[in-house]
Amino acid sequence: MRLPTHALCCCLLSLGAAACAPETAPTPAPIAEKPATADPAGTPESLAQGYYEVRRDLRRCARPRCGGYFLRSSNLAETLCGDGQRSERCYVAEVDWASGGPDGELEVRFAASPERFVVRGTLEPLDGAGTGAGSFWSLRVSQAFEDSEAGDSEARDSGPREEPEASRVEPQTPVGTGSADEGRAAGTLFRVRPTEVVCIAFPCLSFEASELNAGTAPEAIADVDLSGLGSGATRVREVWESSGAPLLRATRIEVTGPAGTAPGLRVLRAYLPAPAQGQVGPGGVQRSCGSRGLAPCEAGNFCAYPRGANCGRADAPGTCTPRPEMCTQIFAPVCGCDGQRYSNECVANAAGVSVDPEGSCDLR
């Protein structure tokens, strides 16, 4: 087949241009770990706060292009990167704890093993880097959660297992976020806290579970099976007793009892909230509040009083605790330490108010 003269000339010119192109030095591996797709919403100055799992970047090239961290959005197949692209993982040059990050030994543990943490934060442009293509981003952390098994794997393997209180049945299609073969841990990450709901028969919807990064309202569940955590189960319960909400990687189950069948969770791994700098006192203990001479909690936190503290009226302190992000619509009215009635404990805490067990407000 003969090509037209003008087509032949174009081909020769193209070949000549390619042959004469200057040789360029090889560049490091691309930031995205798999081909990325553009996000139709474009690139904001900072991305909405989300939960991320982190691992260190071991590539060898000059900073800030290498040596930072790879992030994966918890529970999601793809992560929205700072440049507006979606990828399995995103690269950030730095982790910024300036707005209240870990203190002392905790910071050292994160630097040594970031994969033991789940962090909540936003992606922001690296100082002076701009937001266009080829720019670099940092992760600004607002809260960190550390694996409850850190330094305790032997205790977990040899610890006693609790017998379930009622029969638990796995659904035919387990809920999860992939398999270990895909580089993603099994199970789904939830933020779980007990409610004030009290029933006379099991199962009772006495917990609420928020699936991370789902953007949906918390789900009422009846049971949280901690039997696989060993000594970590005690730590989870201690967080609940202090009005905290740990992150639990779990699979969905169904529980049955005299009251019928209800949803529950079987926990595979737990991540406990790490106190931020502004909430930490001497020795790394979570900072006290609500008593004479103690400073108020920072923005986004409230003073959570234990049950026997009587809302601080006898000068017993509480602890600075992050406010819940979302609450269920379950009506389980409680009295707040401000004397007002709230539809449930979570709603009170979200308003920055601890619950008064001895309150005299009308709960009808």
Q: Are strands 341-342 and 334-335 parallel, antiparallel or unpaired?
A: antiparallel
345 or 362, higher pLDDT: 345
CB 247 within 8 A of CB 270: yes
Kindly tell me if the per-residue pLDDT of 252 is higher than 70: yes
Give the domain ranges of the chain. Answer: 37-146, 153-274, 277-350
Q: Are strands 318-322 and 288-289 parallel, antiparallel or unpaired?
A: antiparallel
Kindly tell me if the per-residue pLDDT of 63 is higher than 60: yes
Which element (helix H / strand E) includes 239?
helix 232-241
CA dihedral 19, 24, 28, 34 (to 10 degrees): -30
- pLDDT > 90 in the chain, percent: 29
CA distance 275 to 282: 12
Kindly tell me if the per-residue pLDDT of 315 is higher than 50: yes
Chain segment 69-105, per-residue pLDDT in tens: 999 999 999 999 988 889 999 999 988 875 444 455 6
**What value does the mean pLDDT of the chain take?**
74
- Residue 79 bridge partners (DSSP): 87
* 338-343 contact pairs (CB < 8 A, 24+): none
What type of residue sits at position 248?
L
Chain segment 253-278, per-residue pLDDT in tens: 999 999 999 999 999 999 998 865 44
End-to-end CA distance of the chain: 90
Mean pLDDT of the region 25-52: 49
Give the pLDDT confidence score for residue 265 in this predicted structure.
97
Mean pLDDT of the region 217-233: 92
Give the pLDDT confidence score for residue 307 in this predicted structure.
75
Chain-centroid distance of CA 45 in Å reads 22
Kindly tell me if the per-residue pLDDT of 18 is higher than 90: no
Kindly tell me if the per-residue pLDDT of 29 is higher than 80: no
- Residue 172 bridge partners (DSSP): none
